[in-house]
Amino acid sequence: MPELPEVETVRRGLAPVMEGQRITRAEVNRPDLRWPFPDRMADRLTGALIERLRRRSKYILADLDTGETLLIHLGMSGRMLISGAMLGDFHHDHPAPAKHDHVVLHMGQGARITFNDARRFGAMDLMGTLDADAHWLMRDLGPEPFANDFNEDYLVARLRGRNTPIKSALLDQRIVAGLGNIYVCEVLHRARIHPARKAGRIAAARIAGLVPLIRQVLDEAIAAGGSSLRDYRQADGELGYFQHGFAVYGREGQPCVTPGCPGTIARIVQSGRSSFFCPQCQR
């Protein structure tokens, strides 16, 4: 599942060809993805101007001049692909329609945005822009990792006394929005905290220290274009490269990269997800 850096990378790739542009024609080629599309979605999108393209947690949000917002969730295999536009040094011509091109947005300056999703775990919805925070997918989300209200005092207070493992606590979207399995593993390694440690039993200073580390890891991942695992691609079809800098994720049995640490990366399963860590330097 794409995490915050992947979704932010896609948003940044889409912004130059979507923000300030009008959707001259929208094609919806099936009635649903993970959930049914909203009623008359193609008609409601056609003619709308995209005023702003933003991200909330793992969702891309396109605010329209119609007073509605288009919510886009990539799911496990969803891709937003651009064609017919100049991207850097490359021009991407319109490809022939593909089997899993479920939604196509024809933009005013000739670009085409295609939502392709082979497994159909992605989603799109339309909602009132003023009521977007109350949408059922977003109403319980915690603060963004880069927001001012996600700070040391906040995280210490939210985790105080919690009996859940620190890994699970950081994956809880009600506590902090957008974090996923990959980047939590990397953050905890940098913090030298074992993923199974009970959140409420970790010293407040160590919990507070997670805030800058979370931002650091996410910043680095966004700069690298995200992590290309399985189906993820950037909006221009290119791969992300942060996976080449993983310290622990997917490195079971390999040496720990912490200078002077003799440890070997191990893997445990927590709530059905693999946690990678170094038993020597993560306590």
- Is 68 a residue of the active site? no
- Is 58 a residue of the active site? yes
Kindly name the residue from 2, 5, 165, 195 that is annotated as catalytic: 2
Question: Please, is 173 exposed, middle or buried when counting C-beta atoms within 10 Å of its C-beta (0-12, 13-18, 19+)?
Answer: middle
**What gap in Å lies between CA 204 and CA 160, rounded to an integer?**
8
Kindly name the residue from 11, 56, 58, 112 that is annotated as catalytic: 58
Catalytically annotated residues: 2-3, 58, 273
